[in-house]
Amino acid sequence: MVDQSQSAFDLEDRLRRLNEIGVALSVEHNLTVLLERILLEARRFTRADAGTLFLLKGDHLTFEIAQNDTLKSFAGGTHGKMDMPPVPLNKESVSGYVAVTGQALNIEDVYSEPVYRFEGPKNYDRMTGYRTRSILGVPMKDHEDQIIGVVQLINPLHPLTGEVVPFSAQDQSLIQSLASQAAVAINNVRLIAETEALFDSFVQVMATAIDERSPYTGGHIRRVAEMAMAVAHSINTCQEGPLGPRQFDEDQLNELRIAAWMHDIGKITTPEWVVDKPTKLHTLFDRIELVRTRFALIEKSIQLERLEKQVTGQPLPADFAEEYERRLQALAEDLAFLERANTPGEFMQDADLVRLNQIAGQTYVEGGQQRPYLSENELKNLCIRKGSLTQEERQKINDHASMSIKMLAQIPFTRKLNQVPPIAGAHHEKLDGSGYPLGLKADQISLQARILALVDIFESLSADDRPYRAKPMPREVVLRILKEEVERGYLDRDVFELFIREELYLKLDEIKARMAAAPPTSQDA
């Protein structure tokens, strides 16, 4: 009676543990840890001395986890990859048999088993000196009754004597229940991993599409993302200074990574000709060609005027020829000036603006009508003092940050990624509140966004090619500009000082070299 009571208590205790383990398995999202936990719990339930867990991949089973207390042998999972050949899906091995038939296999002694003559355990024993006796193989089936793997347990030990005993029917029933729960947990983890991988791929494809809209910005987003992560990891290893106590957990690192990949998503709404505007008159094409054509017409009209006066037979002034040559020379000089003014490389001085207005004020006759040398829009663009963008065009580009926030706000990010929109949208904010699009101040800008702001500026200034400059900017000039941004109260001083102290700017050279050496992908083709 006591034995029966104890047996009932043991069963109740094991069922309770089975429920607890089911709950624990359902919340574990690391596949490696999950597989180790499944095998370990299966062994604890049955007091098995050893065990192996296999997963079904294609037309074979792969060794994932192997544990053996007697041999003190633990492989797979956190103990390192198992260097074992895959197991074919046939009935010549215990695990293969279980996977093929979908039935549990309970063998009391593999050496005296009259029906199944499996050589695998015997070969294992010869190689290791181990003595395999009892084996329990159980299939792991998911909710659709599909086999995803096999749990194989070896040599259960008697709780009092420590001797190897057969697996009981109760053992088999409990392990089958555990295997079913394990299969669901494994599929859940796989589904989460596949969903995250799909999302990551979508993010990177979108980022690549945005980058590749312009021949000048290809790879910018990827370089910014890798630089941002390099800075974040450096903060995590920093042991001194204001950043010493700061630490990013895995979720925060992932938020920064996704935000960096998506920080320019709003540029998908920015016209390409604005993003790539290499000259002041460029729209769908460089309108300096229209100016050249117009000046060629003016030149021909001056020459025609000269010929008309010559053929009248009337006396001409002594300086007649010189006057027309001066007009033609002045026209050529004006055109050369306009061509120089069209390039964004030089700062326009006040005298240049005066001359532009003088040229625009001149007229010529076409079709019997007086027309200006320059249209109002041409004059407005050529009068840009620095760069190639008008105020309206610059605002179009600046709007990409607010558009990024708007677009990202429509994505149902998970709780662990809910800071992606504010991080991505704040990469043009400045600590003194003078940035855009929201004019956030220091206490409203997260450390992740401060990192993103710094590396975005650094990468843009370090770009090998931009439409608004003829050659790359020297590294010392780039770092000096960053320092000036810090002194003005725009960028985070602590992040910048870490950036300099740890020479993180050299990471960009490594990233560029790695990207240049990478083989073309299907996206590049």
Taking only the tens place, the pLDDT of each residue in 323-352 is 888 989 999 999 999 999 998 876 788 899
* Residue from 253, 205, 303 nearest 522 by CA: 205
Arch. (CATH architecture) of 2-191 = 2-Layer Sandwich (3.30)
Segment 14-46, tens digit of pLDDT? 666 766 666 666 666 778 888 888 898 889 889
Segment 441-488, tens digit of pLDDT? 999 999 999 999 999 999 988 876 555 555 678 999 999 999 999 999
Whether the full predicted model's pTM is greater than 0.75, yes or no, is no
CA distance 451 to 455: 6
The residues that bridge with 153 in the sheet, in sequence order, are: 51, 136
**In one letter, which amino acid is 118?**
F
One-letter-per-residue 3-state SS of 279-342:
CCCECCCECHHHHHHHHHHHHHHHHHHHHHHHCCCCCCCCCHHHHHHHHHHHHHHHHHHHHHHH
Q: Mean of the per-residue pLDDT values for the chain? A: 85
pLDDT band at 217 (very low <50, low <70, confident <90, very high): low
Q: When comparing pLDDT for 79 and 404, which is higher?
A: 404
* Residue from 190, 266, 182 nearest 221 by CA: 266
CA distance 251 to 232: 12
* Residue from 234, 55, 232, 233 nearest 149 by CA: 55
Q: Where in the chain is the domain with CATH 3.30.450.40?
A: 2-191
* Residue from 316, 318, 297, 319 nearest 308 by CA: 316
122-131, 188-197, 376-385: least confidently modelled range: 188-197
Q: Where in the chain is the domain with CATH 1.10.3210.10?
A: 212-275+392-517
CA distance 110 to 122: 8
Query: What's the token pair of residue 81?
Result: 């990859």
pLDDT band at 7 (very low <50, low <70, confident <90, very high): low
Q: When comparing pLDDT for 407 and 248, which is higher?
A: 248
Arch. (CATH architecture) of 212-275+392-517 = Orthogonal Bundle (1.10)
Cα(first)–Cα(last) distance of the chain, in Å?
A: 77
pLDDT at 15: 61
Q: Is there a contact between 60 and 70 (Cβ–Cβ < 8 Å)?
A: no
| Cis ω for the linkage preceding 437 (within 30 of 0) | yes
